[in-house]
């Protein structure tokens, strides 16, 4: 079976072979390499992260402050600004991840994607690496927003639960980045991805529990909110940071992990077929 | 995957009846050829002839609609993973991460090719020396000249010492000096490592000086195949230049879908500065 590899290994029988032989380890190295690549790009040009912090800051400072005065939203006994913070956190995780598909198409147009796909890396290792790359960006956003909210006077439960918050952020970003890559594989062009990005981000946001609880929604919107994964991200974050989630945090995490895995499988299937050429 | 299916290792690429269509357009149409291990094989043809599409099928990026292809003894459809371990691929477009240094680009590729840390370091240093990138290795690729980018790309593709190296227009947009230097490196790889080099080009002198055998593609088909001497025989003129041979076999067709190809070439030229 491995007759073709015999030659390259023969020279180093006593020492370690030059290439990884354990497939699981190799898979992890590949996924980690893609994450590393994303981190290196980010470190060279962190301006994107700074610009991306502007919008959530406006939501908290302007919308949150003004809307909170109305006391129109039943927040379960917490100030509206505190109620809003997990919603804005989830929103920014979603938005940062959803534009990942555009980056992938850009890499395809540049030929970078094809070059990587011609290496022995498993397709799903590439997708997983990209998903976790989105997660690292999202984590840096989360930190910014948590600090910002503290500065404007929001007092959240912050302690060891921050680790759980970050895990939720990682799962949420991985899901939305995966979804975005599935869309990229289906749509194939940057222009269409830009369009769909505009079209779906706001509805995702407004049809979730980010701004108001599900309980005040009309029946049809309740249905949409229930199948909107952003709802589970917000709910989990509220549970951790305010103690007012409607589901158990582990259930929210499980749903996000399941949805993210589904996107991983779907993207790994679609990618090489639709974007490799 | 019985042993009998595998050709003798002297044929590094075996293509039989390979076809690919995009929508209604038959980009590659029943193509067959073989390359010998350690030779430099040139694929020529006008814009849109199907050269890149053929290479992408051999590099396991596109799935053929029909036919069969073996690369380094492995079937591109049945054993893509093994093919990928045995090849290096440099796409037609310049495809490096310009926000990273040359060294970082090499590290990423070495890891994806599965090299362990120690071997990785040795091979990267070797490639940097071989391609004359010592001074530039730790600079951002953004600051590289077109020729340096191309050399870096070739370096990325040979870290794992592939058996077959696919180069899609390796010198497009380069000045004569840079082109000459890329040629020398390609020739060295072939000679020192016994790699099969499979390249496409629009430069006749490139094919003439590098390739032992040449295939001329036109409208998705192989119009002619052989050594330069054999091709001269076929046109019936022992003095014929490769240019004349090219026009003889590919010149009678005007390619229809040219805009996409021309704009792509322009884009490459622009990116090369
Ligand atoms: N992904 C694709 N979808 C649709 N058509 C495609 C695709 N890729 C290539 N084609 C078409 O297939 C034909 C062959 O393209 P290919 O890139 O293989 O040509 P080529 O010989 O490499 O040309 P060039 O010298 O310009 O690089 C062209 O008409 C091209 O427009
Ligand atoms: Mg081409």
User: pLDDT per residue over A224-236, tens digit each?
Assistant: 999 999 999 999 9
B22 ligand 1 Cβ < 6 A? yes
Superfamily of domain B11-272: P-loop containing nucleotide triphosphate hydrolases (3.40.50.300)
- Most A-contacting residue of B9, B23, B114 (CB-CB within 10 A), to test interface: B114
In a domain, residue A24? The reply is no
CB-based contact (8 Å) between B115 and chain A? yes
Strands (E) across B3-82 are located at: 11-22, 25-36, 40-44, 66-71, 74-75
pLDDT band at B2 (very low <50, low <70, confident <90, very high): very low
pLDDT number for residue A45: 84
Å from CA of A91 to ligand 2 middle? 42
pLDDT number for residue B262: 54
A chain contacts of residue B5, beta-carbon cutoff 8 Å = none
Q: Which of B63, B91, B111 sits opposite A114 (nearest CB)?
A: B91
pLDDT number for residue A194: 87
Residue B11 β-bridge partners? B36
Q: How far apart are CA A102 and CA B217, in angstroms?
A: 34
Helical H runs in B95-227?
Answer: 102-112, 117-130, 146-158, 176-193, 204-210
Instruction: Tell me what percent of the residues of chain B surpass a pLDDT of 90.
Output: 71
List pLDDT tens digits, range A135-166: 999 999 999 999 999 998 888 888 899 999 99
Of the candidates B9, B29, B36, B28, which has an alpha carbon nearest to the alpha carbon of residue B198?
B36
Q: How far apart are CA A146 and CA A154, in angstroms?
A: 9
Cβ distance of A19 and B113 shorter than 8 Å: yes
Q: Tell whether the model's pLDDT for residue B134 goes beyond 90.
A: yes
In a domain, residue A21? The reply is no
Nearest ligand to the CA of B57 is 1
Give the pLDDT mean for B73-101: 94
Looking at A67-71, A137-141, B66-70, B163-167, which range is the least confident one? A67-71
CB-based contact (8 Å) between B37 and chain A? no
- Most A-contacting residue of B95, B150, B165, B267 (CB-CB within 10 A), to test interface: B95
B258 ligand 1 Cβ < 6 A? no
pLDDT number for residue A163: 94
In a domain, residue A246? The reply is yes
CB-based contact (8 Å) between B138 and chain A? no
Q: Tell whether the model's pLDDT for residue B88 goes beyond 90.
A: yes
Residue B26 β-bridge partners? B21
In a domain, residue A217? The reply is yes
pLDDT band at B16 (very low <50, low <70, confident <90, very high): very high
For ligand 1, atom 7, name the residue with the nearest CA. Answer: B22
Cβ distance of B112 and A33 shorter than 8 Å: yes
Q: Residue A261 is part of which domain span?
A: 33-274
In a domain, residue A201? The reply is yes
Which of the residues in chain A have pLDDT under 70?
1-15
CB-based contact (8 Å) between B108 and chain A? yes
In a domain, residue A160? The reply is yes
pLDDT number for residue B102: 97
How far, CA to CA in Å, does A137 sit from each of A68, A255, B34, B219, B245?
29, 21, 47, 46, 55
ipTM for the whole predicted complex goes beyond 0.90: no
Q: How many domains does chain A have?
A: 1
B chain contacts of residue A114, beta-carbon cutoff 8 Å = 56, 59, 61, 89, 91, 95
Residue B40 phi, psi (nearest 5):
-105, 120
pLDDT band at B273 (very low <50, low <70, confident <90, very high): very low
pLDDT number for residue A52: 85
Q: Least CA distance to A114: which residue of chain B? A: B61
CB-based contact (8 Å) between B260 and chain A? no
B chain contacts of residue A29, beta-carbon cutoff 8 Å = 111, 114
Where does residue B100 fall: left (phi above 0), alpha (psi -120 to 50 degrees), or beta otherwise? beta
Q: How far apart are CA A161 and CA B159, in angstroms?
A: 45
Domain ranges of chain B: 11-272
Mean pLDDT (chain B) is 89
pLDDT number for residue A50: 84
């Amino acid at each position: 079976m491995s007759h073709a590899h015999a030659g390259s290994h023969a020279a180093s029988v006593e020492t370690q072979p030059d290439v990884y032989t354990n497939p699981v380890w190799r898979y992890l190295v590949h996924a980690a390499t893609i994450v590393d690549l994303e981190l290196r790009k980010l470190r060279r040009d962190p301006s994107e992260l700074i610009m991306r912090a502007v919008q959530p800051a406006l939501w908290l400072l302007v919308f949150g402050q003004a809307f909170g005065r109305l006391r129109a939203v039943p927040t379960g006994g917490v100030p509206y600004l505190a109620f809003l913070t997990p919603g804005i956190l989830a929103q920014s995780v979603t938005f940062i991840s959803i534009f990942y598909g555009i980056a992938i198409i850009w890499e395809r147009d540049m030929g970078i994607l094809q070059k990587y796909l011609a290496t022995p890396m498993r397709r799903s290792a590439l997708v997983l690496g990209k998903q976790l790359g989105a997660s690292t960006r999202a984590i840096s956003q989360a930190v910014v927003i948590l600090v910002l909210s503290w500065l404007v006077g929001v007092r959240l439960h912050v302690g060891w639960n921050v680790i759980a918050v970050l895990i939720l952020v990682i799962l949420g970003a991985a899901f939305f980045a995966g979804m975005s890559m599935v869309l990229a594989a289906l749509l194939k062009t940057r222009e269409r991805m830009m369009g769909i990005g505009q079209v779906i981000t706001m509805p995702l946001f407004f049809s979730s529990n980010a701004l108001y609880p599900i309980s005040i929604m009309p029946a049809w919107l309740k249905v949409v909110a229930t199948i909107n994964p952003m709802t589970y991200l917000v709910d989990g974050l509220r549970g951790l940071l305010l103690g007012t989630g409607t589901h158990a945090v582990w259930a929210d995490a499980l749903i996000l992990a399941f949805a993210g895995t589904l996107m991983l499988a779907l993207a790994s299937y679609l990618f090489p077929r639709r974007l490799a050429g | 995957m019985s042993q009998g299916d595998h050709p003798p290792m002297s044929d590094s690429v075996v293509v039989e009846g390979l076809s690919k269509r995009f929508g209604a357009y038959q980009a590659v149409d029943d193509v067959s050829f073989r390359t010998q291990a350690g030779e430099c094989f040139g694929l020529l043809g006008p814009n849109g002839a199907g050269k890149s599409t053929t290479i992408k099928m051999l590099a396991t990026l596109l799935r053929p609609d029909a036919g069969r292809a073996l690369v380094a003894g492995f079937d591109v459809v049945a054993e893509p993973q093994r093919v990928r371990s045995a090849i290096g691929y440099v796409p037609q477009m310049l495809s490096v991460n310009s926000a990273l240094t040359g060294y970082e680009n090499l590290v990423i590729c070495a890891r994806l090719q599965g090299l362990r840390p120690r071997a990785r370091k040795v091979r990267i240093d070797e490639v940097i020396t071989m391609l004359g990138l010592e001074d530039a290795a730790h600079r951002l690729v953004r600051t590289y000249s077109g020729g340096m980018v191309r050399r870096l790309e070739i370096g990325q593709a040979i870290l794992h010492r592939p058996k077959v190296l696919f180069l899609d227009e390796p010198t497009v947009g380069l000045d004569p000096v840079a082109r000459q230097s890329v040629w020398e490196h390609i020739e060295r790889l072939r000679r020192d490592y016994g790699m099969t080099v499979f390249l496409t080009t629009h430069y006749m002198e490139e094919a003439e000086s590098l390739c032992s055998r040449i295939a001329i593609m036109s409208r998705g088909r192989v119009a002619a195949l052989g050594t330069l001497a054999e091709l001269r025989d076929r046109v019936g003129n022992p003095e014929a230049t490769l240019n004349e041979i090219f026009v003889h076999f590919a010149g009678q067709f005007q390619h229809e879908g040219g805009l996409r190809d021309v704009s792509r070439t322009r884009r490459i030229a622009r990116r090369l500065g």
